[in-house]
Each structure stands twice: as structure tokens, then as C-alpha cells.
Amino acid sequence: MIKSSNIQPDFDKLTVYDSAVLASKYTAKKIAELILQKQKEGNRAILGLATGNTPKMVYQELIRLHKYEGLSFSNVVSFNLDEYYPISVNDEQSYTYFMNNNLFNHVDITQENIHIPHTDCSSNQISEYCLDYENKIKSYGGLDLQLLGIGRNGHIGFNEPGSKFDSITRLIDLHPLTREDAIENFGDLDNVPHQAITMGINTIVQAKKILLLALGERKSEIIKKALNGTIATEVPSSILQTLPQVEYILDREAAVLIQK
Ligand code: GLP
């Protein structure tokens, strides 16, 4: 554990917007810029994508840019952070369903360039599957940009408190708070899976650029800990404090407890 109670967040890496809409539009702009830059270079853009309520408006803006401003996703290769285990890709609560509904069905990304952990394999195939996912990311030269939300317990992806900083893609037990927050989508706690596949912390921190987006007052407590608190596995997102390639994008409500 690195003791860092005196470390203040590097405010050059933090932008606070007046509203969730503005924060989301800025985030989408950063993603679009990367896609365009890679297009100019004749390269693919390797994107790590997130689910949850937080990125929804980012995806809406990307769809708008595609429909009305000619942004093409033809050079995009995507890797999603995580998926519940077990779940069927056809379930409305699955992240495959979420991504198709909120982004992929509305842009010109090639189906074969989309990667989302599929958790319909049997338990003895999981470790091999996770290693393949990790290696697939590496085979593309790693992630150019990783979009992150943050869980109320500080998780990124589904790297729950206690996740090792050198962890890679794997099966993980979901934290009670994570399962409680998922009731919103599953209707009842009994319907929420107990496990998930997630990219590891080490997988995430290898990304060349990381955008962490947090919106709303319910994220303010954990944002304070993640940005100002001790760097420790109890708050997995705290590791981001050590990385030069991270940008924190907050709306005013999420930033309310951060002293400038
Ligand atoms: C889930 C996802 C995370 C996400 C988090 C926050 O746990 N696995 O990647 O960041 O939820 O969700 P929300 O954006 O809905 O607050």
C-alpha cells in the first residue's frame, strides 16, 4: 500500500463541468478526436468501453456525431470492460444488449471489431477465456483509450475493493454494494448475478489514455477518496492517481467534496 494522504489530485488532469451534459459532450469529443486522428494516420482506434448510466450521454453524443457530423467508426476496435457471469447475450441486463442498444446499433462499427466478454462459457473454460481476452487486447497493441465510470465503492470495471493492482482479466465475486446498485436493472437482488468477468486493473492502467467520468452527487464521496485518498486496493480507482495518462471529468455535483 502506498501512503499518500497528503497527495492532492493533479488538478491539471481534472476538469469540472457545470452539467452532466457538458461533461459527457467533452468526453465524447475526446473519443471522437482520437478516432479521427487514427483515421488520418491510417490506423485503427482501439477503444476500451464502459457500461452503466454514466457513459450513456457520451454514447448519445457519439451517435449524434456519427449521424450529423460524419464521424465514422469503421476504424474502431472496441473492448468492453466487463460482463456479468453468468448471463446470456440476449438478456436485457447483459452488457452486450446495453452496448448494442446504446451505441453499436446506431453507428457504423464492424461487428467483428466488437469485443465484449461473453460469459456463456462453462466455469472450467473461464480462465482460458479470460486469458484469451487479455491476449486479444495485446494483439491489437493495447488500448489507445479507456473510458471508465466509477462504482460507489471505488471499483473500475468490476475490479472490486481488494483487487490487486497487477490483476488481469478474470472472474470476480461482486461486492454487496455493486449488487445492490444493480437492482435498478435486475428488478430484485435475487436476480443480480454474484459474479462477473472483468478486465483487470493492470489491463486498464496499460491504456495509453484513460478518461474517468463521474456524474452526480452520489459519486462525490467516492470521488473524494479516489482522487484525494490513500492509494490502496480497498479503493481500486485510487491507483489512477499515479498515472500521467489519466483525465478525470466530473460534473459539479460529483466534484462537490473536492477542495481546490
Ligand atoms: C458497473 C460497471 C462499471 C461502472 C459502474 C458504475 O458496476 N461494471 O464499469 O462504472 O457500474 O455505474 P453507473 O455509471 O451506473 O453509476
Tens of pLDDT, residues 184-214: 999 999 999 999 999 999 999 999 999 999 9
Q: Is 180 a catalytic residue?
A: no
The pTM score is 0.95
Q: From the CA of 55, give the closest atom in ligand 1.
A: 14
Residue 82 alpha carbon to ligand 1 centre in Å: 10
Contact 93, 185 (CB under 8 A): yes
Tens of pLDDT, residues 156-190: 999 999 999 999 999 999 999 999 999 999 999 99
Q: Is 153 a catalytic residue?
A: yes
Helix orientation angle between 95-102 and 56-69, rounded to the nearest 10 degrees: 40
Tens of pLDDT, residues 79-99: 999 999 999 999 999 999 999
Rg for the chain (alpha carbons), in Å?
17
Residue 232 alpha carbon to ligand 1 centre in Å: 20
CA distance 169 to 179: 20
